[in-house]
Amino acid sequence: MIKNILCVAMLVVSGMAVQAPNVFADEQKYEMKSAAATVKDVLSENINKRVIVRMDTGDTLEGTVSKVGDSLVHLSKISGRDFYDAVVLMDKISAVLFKVRGN
């Protein structure tokens, strides 16, 4: 009886391993369009998307990129500040974080 249970368990486990989808096969990654890409280019690619900008002071702001100008970016729907938008100097941004892969 125990032998039968172990055989069934082994078949179930091995069947799951065969049917398990390869999680890494569909993995997406970000590639810069140009080696000379700027913060402005990255923000422009993410208009109407949520981003996190890390300022050179270490502070972060999360919001939706609404408009990108020559030296300013408008972030709307700031996370944690329901009724606020922000206008940020691009010269003060040290990193832009954005979602590339889904769950």
What 3-state DSSP class applies to 54? strand
pTM of the model: 0.69
pLDDT digits (tens, 9 = 90+) for 52-77: 999 999 999 999 999 999 999 999 99
Per residue in 9-35, pLDDT (tens digit) is 555 555 544 444 555 555 667 777 778
Residues with Cβ < 8 Å from 28, sequence gap 6 or more? Answer: 100, 101
How many CA atoms lie within 13 Å of 78's alpha carbon, on the beta-carbon side? 14
Residue with tokens 């391993």: 17
- Please, what are the domains in the chain? 28-98 (2.30.30.100)
Amino acid at 3: K
CA angle, corner 62, sides to 54 and 49, nearest 5? Answer: 110
Q: Which residue has tokens 């055989």? A: 7
